[in-house]
Structure formats: C-alpha cells, structure tokens
Amino acid sequence: MDAYIDRIYFAAGGHVDGANYYFRVVRRGDGKIWNTLTSAFSDTTPWAASTIAMTEKDTTGEFPVVIPENFPSDTYDIVIYGQVGSAPANTDDVLSQFECKVGSVFGF
C-alpha cells in the first residue's frame, strides 16, 4: 500500500510561522507505539522514535496526517501534538486524537 492522507488537521490559529505539529500511532489492541526507526510496534518505543512530522500544506494552516507506506493493517489511535520546544517531547500539548483503520475494515 502507498502512503496516503488519512485526514487533515486544521491548526486553530491558521498558519503560524515556526509552528510544528506531529503525530504518534498507538495500536488499539495492545497499546504498543509505532517506532519510526524500526518500522515496528513496541512497548519500549522512545518518544523521539515515535513521532511522525506533519508538514503544512503551503501556508494554509492545514497539516495532513500521512499514514506511512506499507503500514500494517489494524485499528489505531492517532494522537496529534503541538511541538512546544525545539524537538518533540512528552510534555507537548495533545491537540487532537482519533481512531484510524488501516487496511481491510473486516480484518482479513
């Protein structure tokens, strides 16, 4: 499967120079976190290895949630964060959360 846009997060303030957003993926069945370095789910994924940057579309305040290529089929929680400092951190604000189904909705 190719990478695809699951949905678009609209920043409440529109375009803001220097604003950074990212998301993390949590598997619903067991709570494991996606590790972007190993491309696998784990109980011990470090914060820095669990973030997927969201790139703003031009200067619109629109930040697509792009599901990576060849992502495993399952049901996930996507959690969107607003980055406060110079790097993603577990103290960043949660801005949104939603359920995402990747692959067959029937599970086969």
Each residue's pLDDT tens digit, 31-73 = 999 999 999 999 999 999 999 999 999 999 999 999 988 889 8
- Residue 60 falls within a domain, yes or no? yes
Give the pLDDT score at 1.
66
pLDDT at residue 32 in the model: 97
Question: In percent, how much of the chain has pLDDT > 90?
Answer: 80
Residue 71 within any structural domain of the chain: yes
Does residue 39 fall inside a structural domain? yes
Tell me, what's the pLDDT at 26? 97
Domain range for residue 19? 4-102
pLDDT of residue 42: 96
**Residue 108 domain-assigned (yes or no):** no
The structure tokens 């029937």 sit at 106
Residue 75, SS3 per DSSP: strand
Strand partners, 17: none
In a domain, 79, yes or no: yes
In a domain, 107, yes or no: no
Domain CATH for 70: 2.60.40
SS3 content of the chain, % helix, strand, coil (to 5): 5, 45, 50
Task: Report the number of distinct structural domains present in the chain.
Answer: 1
Residue 54 to residue 66: CA distance in whole angstroms? 8
What is the pLDDT at residue 46?
Answer: 97
**Spatial contact of 13 and 62, defined as CB atoms under 8 Å apart:** no
